[in-house]
């Protein structure tokens, strides 16, 4: 069967790593008809928008997309393409498995999943300058979205044989907004008596992620906290080159790495494509291509275990192309 999938290469290292993911998917024997759509900083220079409607239409039609990172101007300029895509397509669950690969970052052995609310919180974009020198940012929290993401996290825990969902919040300070999210999560937890609900204040959650990450198991949290914890998680498993992600909605899903455009290494062909390849593995599982997903994961683990062809971010000397060729070779050898 041929899958029609939207490919958004993105900015910076995006085209380099997404091309690696395409090659790996082909090596695993999955037939894909890629519909390439451009969004991000480069598109904004050529057109009047960084996110043309054609990108949204393509994801709506195909239901599934693989995406490279898109740059966002800091301080001013256009709104984040990433946040807009998630909001416009209502991709409410940002699922980020943080899992150690044997041979990489031996200090920790991590296996947790962060489920981040993707559509509201401080990322709702409700900011204003009240007076010169006084800015206000509104944190939007609804019972609807809080329950929806909690329910997703509990369903995820059941499906993946997890024991606990940790809800990370700051309801001791933001009593109304985080308080509403906490009450909503407690209500949903009652429907899943087999899964333990742990309530943890966000700063304690950050400390626990470093000292005893696996005790958190599945973390569910609002948008900004989830964003920060994701990069902390990446730090535990070898860096941003390793953590994949999925933005899931009821109608469609976009798979992308946690990392950004890495402007410091873009265009040099040295980025680690592991995070987007692991995102592609999540995408193949979503498409019920489980055998191919397994083949890629097995080969990836073998490549890291052998430690011969690795990228510079973890001390290797291979470039993106050589890393990818070796992975394709291992996939083909293993099939």
The residues annotated as belonging to the active site are 123, 170, 203, 227
Quick one: which of 48, 53, 264, 333 contacts ligand NAI (CB under 6 A)? 264
**In this chain, which stretch among 105-113, 126-134, 256-264, 278-286 interacts with ligand NAI, using CB under 6 A?**
256-264
The reply to whether 259 sits near ligand NAI by the rule CB under 6 A is yes
Using alpha carbons only, what angle is made at residue 301 by residues 298 and 307, rounded to the nearest 5 degrees?
Answer: 140
The reply to whether 241 sits near ligand NAI by the rule CB under 6 A is yes
Cβ atoms within 10 A of the Cβ of 334, count?
13
CB of 226 to ligand NAI, least distance (A): 12
| DSSP per-residue string spanning 51-120 | S-HHHHHHHHHHSEEEE------SSSSSPPHHHHHHHHTT--EEEEEEEPPTTS-TT---EEEEEEE-SS
Q: Quick one: 86 or 169, whose CB is closer to ligand NAI?
A: 86
Q: Measure CA 135 to chain center.
A: 30
Which pairing describes strands 64-67 and 253-256: parallel, antiparallel, or unpaired?
parallel
Quick one: which of 313, 318, 323, 328 contacts ligand NAI (CB under 6 A)? 313
Classified as helix, coil or strand, 232 is: helix
Q: Token pair 């709702």 is at which residue?
A: 124
Quick one: which of 9, 71, 97, 233 contacts ligand NAI (CB under 6 A)? 71
Quick one: which of 262, 310, 318, 331 contacts ligand NAI (CB under 6 A)? 262
The reply to whether 112 sits near ligand NAI by the rule CB under 6 A is no
Size of the site for ligand NAI (CB under 6 A): 21
SS3 content of the chain, % helix, strand, coil (to 5): 45, 20, 35
- Is the Cβ–Cβ distance between 102 and 225 less than 8 Å? no
The reply to whether 84 sits near ligand NAI by the rule CB under 6 A is no
The reply to whether 72 sits near ligand NAI by the rule CB under 6 A is yes
Q: Quick one: 115 or 271, whose CB is closer to ligand NAI?
A: 271
Quick one: which of 5, 7, 65, 70 contacts ligand NAI (CB under 6 A)? 70
Q: Quick one: 185 or 279, whose CB is closer to ligand NAI?
A: 279
The reply to whether 297 sits near ligand NAI by the rule CB under 6 A is no
The reply to whether 275 sits near ligand NAI by the rule CB under 6 A is yes
* Residue 5 φ then ψ, to 5°: -130, 140
């Amino acid at each position: 069967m041929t899958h029609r999938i939207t490919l958004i290469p993105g900015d910076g290292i995006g085209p380099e790593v997404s091309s690696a993911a395409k090659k790996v998917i082909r090596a695993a024997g999955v037939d894909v008809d890629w519909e390439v759509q451009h969004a991000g900083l480069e598109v904004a220079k050529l057109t009047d928008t960084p996110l043309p409607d054609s990108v949204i239409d393509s994801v709506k039609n195909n239901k599934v997309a693989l995406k490279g990172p898109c740059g966002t101007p800091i301080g001013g300029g256009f709104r984040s393409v990433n946040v807009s895509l998630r909001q416009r397509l209502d991709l409410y669950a940002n699922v980020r498995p943080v899992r150690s690969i044997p041979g990489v970052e031996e200090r920790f052995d991590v296996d947790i999943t962060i489920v981040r609310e993707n559509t509201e919180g401080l990322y709702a974009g409700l900011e204003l300058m009240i007076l010169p020198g006084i800015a206000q940012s509104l944190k939007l929290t609804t019972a609807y979205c809080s329950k929806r993401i909690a329910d997703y996290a509990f369903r995820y825990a059941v499906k993946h044989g997890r024991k606990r969902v940790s809800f990370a919040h700051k309801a001791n300070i933001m009593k109304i907004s985080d308080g509403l999210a906490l009450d909503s999560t407690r209500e949903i937890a009652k429907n899943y008596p087999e899964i333990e609900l742990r309530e943890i204040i966000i700063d304690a959650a950050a400390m626990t992620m470093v000292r005893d990450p696996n005790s958190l198991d599945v973390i569910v949290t609002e948008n900004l906290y989830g964003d920060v914890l994701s990069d902390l998680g990446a730090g535990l498993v070898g860096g941003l080159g390793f953590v994949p992600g999925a933005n899931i909605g009821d109608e469609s899903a976009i798979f992308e790495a946690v990392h950004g455009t890495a402007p410091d290494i873009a265009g040099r062909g040295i980025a680690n494509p592991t995070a987007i390849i692991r995102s592609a593995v999540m995408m193949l599982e979503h498409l019920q291509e489980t055998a191919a997903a397994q083949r890629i994961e097995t080969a990836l683990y073998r490549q890291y275990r052998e430690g011969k062809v690795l990228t510079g971010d973890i001390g290797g000397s291979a470039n993106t192309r050589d890393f990818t060729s070796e992975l394709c070779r291992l996939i083909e050898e293993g099939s």
